[in-house]
Amino acid sequence: MSASTIEIDGSFGEGGGQILRTSLALSLLTGKAFHLRNIRARRPKPGLHPQHLMSVQAAAKVGAAVTRGATLRSSDLVFEPGTVTAGKYHFDIGTAGATSLVLHTLYLPLALRGGLTSRLTLVGGTHVTTSPCFHFLDTTWRAYLRIIGLPISLHMVRPGFYSRGGGIVDAEIPCCSRLAGLTALERGPIKVSGFSAVAGLPEDIAHRQTRQATRRLRDEGIDIAMREETWPGGPGTVVALIAETTPVPALFFGLGARGKRAERVADEAVDQLLSYVAAEPAAVDLHSADQILMPLALADGPSVYSIAEVSEHLPTNAAVIRLFVDREIVCEGKVGEPGMVYVR
């Protein structure tokens, strides 16, 4: 192993898969090899699971990388990047593993190093727990990228829920020569909209989710316009609430599961939205705070943004980015409380 290989302990900070994804993306972007040990050590089932392994395999394919340890349940990985090549790629996780997390691994290397527009087809989960759902990516994440200069296009061909998966997402990633910094300190007035959707389940579930979300928000003095949708495939259910505000709309969602009441699905989305509202005037939501950090660390010029809540992911992601990129990143605030992020 080369002396210049970056050594990373995957058990530090939040100790999850984000360390892997950020390392893969930045390795392709910087040309620096890394050795990651103790992969996902702080998770109940550590090591590489199907969506993590697909992130490794996909990164290796688009970046002509050499890998060692890229197997299911592996806790030790060496990744030596080559040259990133734009193109048309198809990656099937084979389970309900999150397509969003594979996309998070690939989009920046393809945009900044590919030289041409790339098209991805990702097969797996589009609405699964502990990962951003398709509609969050399409509504919130993609809007932040557009502001800083990367207009990605997304299309959900078919939804995929746990445990069947089978969802399909198409992404078009244009070549990008530079990214701009972001200043987002306050948000404007909030207008809330949303939807309640079912796939392969009775429409009454969507009605109950709508009633619960509407009742709770109106009790808090928040008016809301919600629509109901029936999707193919499934079974699955989702409630999404969108806070139309600046700098981008913030989407919060709850997902159904076997034995989980429709009202509880709605409550999960409502609780997240109310937490965001209570953190006024913070501009950036909990999940976007760490998801936009990597592109901003590669942008021209500084960035500063206020966040509704500091997650464990945020300082962990900052620490990994600093291993690859010479950029000052300061995260202020305690975990679970509002904070600030500076990229200088």
Q: Which conformational region is residue 94 in: left (phi greater than 0), alpha (psi within -120 to 50 degrees), or beta?
A: left
* Pair of tokens at residue 214: 């509407």
Q: What's the CA gap between 64 and 85, in Å, rounded?
A: 8
Identified catalytic residue from 35, 104, 287, 313: 313
Active site residue 313: yes
**Residue 141 CB partners (closer than 8 Å, separation 6+):** 132, 288, 291, 292
Q: What's the CA gap between 287 and 290, in Å, rounded?
A: 6
Q: What's the CA gap between 199 and 191, in Å, rounded?
A: 27
Q: What's the CA gap between 23 and 323, in Å, rounded?
A: 9
Q: What's the CA gap between 338 and 227, in Å, rounded?
A: 31
Backbone φ and ψ of 59, nearest 5°: -65, -40
First to last CA, the chain: 32
Q: Is omega for the bond preceding 281 within 30 degrees of 0, making it cis?
A: yes
Contact 236, 201 (CB under 8 A): yes
Single-letter amino acid, residue 334: K
Q: What's the CA gap between 260 and 209, in Å, rounded?
A: 12
Contact 303, 183 (CB under 8 A): yes
DSSP 87-102: -EEEEE-SSS-BHHHH
Backbone φ and ψ of 64, nearest 5°: 45, 45
- Three-state secondary structure call for residue 143: helix
Task: List, by residue number, the catalytic residues.
Answer: 313
